[in-house]
Amino acid sequence: TTMDNVAVYQAKETLDIAHEISKLLDCGLDKESLAILIALCENGVNPEALAAVVKELRREAAALQADA
């Protein structure tokens, strides 16, 4: 329906804006990762806890690359 199309367009536009902000802040998040993080926040996940998890995963990934 038209309302569904509007909602999809608005969600895409919001994601595009969030991705542009993410790039300006050099967050290192691709659009897919950002969409997942936004969805988790919309479903009640604490944003600060989520940010801490992302930071820890990045630290672990860097440590694994350093050991390789």
d(CA 23, CA 6): 26
Would you place residue 3 in the very low, low, confident or very high pLDDT band (cuts 50, 70, 90)?
Answer: confident
**pLDDT tens-digit series, residues 8-49:** 999 999 999 999 999 999 999 999 999 999 999 999 999 999
Give 24-27 contacts, CB < 8 A, sequence gap 24+.
Answer: none
Which value, to the nearest 10 degrees, does the dihedral of the CA atoms of residues 24, 26, 32, 36 take?
A: -100
Q: What is this structure's pTM?
A: 0.80
Sorted by sequence, the CB contacts under 8 Å of residue 15 that are 6+ apart come out as: 31, 34, 35, 38
Are 12 and 34 in contact, with CB atoms under 8 Å apart?
Answer: no
Domain ranges of the chain: 2-67
